[in-house]
Amino acid sequence: MLNTPRRFVVVGRTATASDDFLLDDLPGTSGRLDVLLRCVRAALLVSHGLRRDTVIYLVLLGGPRAPRSMRVDGATAQYLRPDERSLAVLVKKSLAVPTTDAGFATVRPGIAVAEGGLDAVVADLGAATPFLLDERGPDVREASFEAPDAVYFLGDHQGFDEATQSRLASMGSRTVGLGPVSLHADDAIAVLSNELDRRELRSTANR
Amino acid sequence: MLNTPRRFVVVGRTATASDDFLLDDLPGTSGRLDVLLRCVRAALLVSHGLRRDTVIYLVLLGGPRAPRSMRVDGATAQYLRPDERSLAVLVKKSLAVPTTDAGFATVRPGIAVAEGGLDAVVADLGAATPFLLDERGPDVREASFEAPDAVYFLGDHQGFDEATQSRLASMGSRTVGLGPVSLHADDAIAVLSNELDRRELRSTANR
């Protein structure tokens, strides 16, 4: 299990797929890309380090260049800093690179961009057992994540759109809940990661 | 238990107590106040709402105006937005208000500032059973937080300084760990809040 990366996919219904947003007003000009930037931090950055075993995809469904998707791979990413503006600069530069293909093209170390939304991400994931973070789902602490190819899908501040829900349902996704309070997506990633960290420790200890 | 606010204290060893930082370079000019801003978001903001039962204190030990402390009270706070820049603007305006007293003076709705560091916060807390978030502590899922006046202390990216550690020890603080991976302070708050949400739900259900 330790050899399979931990994979998150955050679907941004309005998050811009182009680089023409203002760093000084992310919430107002980027279709709430700020929500997704915070997810990148929560998924990849820990105290004094980077989770090298984690990959996060951002599905960008907003703005004139949509849909596009971005993949940030902890194994090869460099210069990731936790503050929102630094992450925004990195994503802005990455989105400025032209893309023509539905396959992910590396634009900076550890960062790749593709034309296309969820389809491009699903193609890149390959074998995948999808879990959908949803407050109504059965509790994460009781859930079985035994599949070595688990992938965790999260919505943004608006939740999933219907097309995404149908697509994930057709992939056989199961829902997982995180507790009694509906959380921001980045906090949801923090809580889920903590559960997964605990399970990996137990699985390593049991070997 | 539901009547006692949930209280967090984040000690920023270098976080600036003055308003002369640059919004465009928070990490470089504010002594890493950005770390504390993210804690405010994690403590107070949830999906489509504010935790009205939560208070977070920031102890600001950096810069020429240190030490000062800030209290953000979810019960009365207004216009809290989750993006880091908005939170930085709010804190900048709040720190611009002169303070002369060790007691907390309200400078904006829900936001109060005091002269002094941990001492000012401890005086404001009143009765308090302190818990210190520390990766080496016993696991949060097993911990007893039965004290109705529990307060959770967190360090910044550098951890606690010795003076703070001694002070918290003299208050009889107990350590609590969150799992196998050392987390950013905001993620630590998210994980701890999730545990507390679950306990409150159980305690309500058992009434």
Q: Quick one: pLDDT band at residue B204, thresholds 50, 70, 90?
A: confident
Is residue B202 less than 8 Å (CB to CB) from chain A? no
Average pLDDT over residues B75-90: 97
User: Do residue B157 and residue A47 have CB atoms under 8 angstroms apart?
Assistant: yes
Is residue A43 less than 8 Å (CB to CB) from chain B? no
Buried b (16+ CB within 10 A) or exposed e, A42-64: bbbbbeeeebeebbbbbbbbbbe
Is residue B29 less than 8 Å (CB to CB) from chain A? no
- Find chain A residues with C-beta within 8 A of B90's C-beta: none
**A198: nearest CB among B157, B179, B183:** B179
Nearest CA in chain A to B192: A191
Residue B48 scores a pLDDT above 90: no
Is residue A182 less than 8 Å (CB to CB) from chain B? yes
Q: pLDDT tens, A175-194?
A: 999 999 999 999 999 999 99
Residue numbers of B between 111 and 150 with CB closer than 8 Å to A: none
- Find chain A residues with C-beta within 8 A of B41's C-beta: 184
Q: Quick one: pLDDT band at residue B126, thresholds 50, 70, 90?
A: very high
* CA–CA distance, B72 with B99 (Å, rounded to integer): 16
Q: Quick one: pLDDT band at residue B3, thresholds 50, 70, 90?
A: low
Distance to chain A for B23, nearest Cα, Å: 8
Find tokens 């309200």 and name the residue.
B106
Is residue B44 less than 8 Å (CB to CB) from chain A? no
**A183: nearest CB among B25, B47, B201:** B47
- Mutation for B interface: A157, A181, A203, most B CBs within 10 A: A181
ipTM of this predicted structure: 0.96
Nearest Cα neighbor of A155 from A138, A132, A177 is A132
**pLDDT at residue A1, rounded to an integer:** 43
Nearest Cα neighbor of B70 from B51, B101, B94, B45 is B94
Is residue B53 less than 8 Å (CB to CB) from chain A? no
Q: pLDDT tens, A110-130?
A: 999 999 999 999 999 999 999
Distance to chain A for B36, nearest Cα, Å: 11
- Find chain A residues with C-beta within 8 A of B194's C-beta: 178-179, 181, 183, 187, 191
- Mutation for B interface: A47, A157, A192, A198, most B CBs within 10 A: A47
**pLDDT at residue A205, rounded to an integer:** 83
Residue B1 scores a pLDDT above 50: no
Distance to chain B for A38, nearest Cα, Å: 9
Q: What percent of chain A has pLDDT over 90?
A: 86
The more confidently predicted of residues B78 and B147 is B78
Q: pLDDT tens, B23-41?
A: 999 999 999 999 999 999 9
Residue B46 scores a pLDDT above 80: yes
Please give the backbone phi and psi of residue B133, each rounded to the nearest 5 degrees, phi first: -75, 120
The token pair at A185 is: 């997506």
* Confidence (pTM): 0.96
**Dihedral Cα A143, A145, A150, A153, nearest 10 deg:** 20
User: Do residue A45 and residue B83 have CB atoms under 8 angstroms apart?
Assistant: no
Residue A48 scores a pLDDT above 90: no
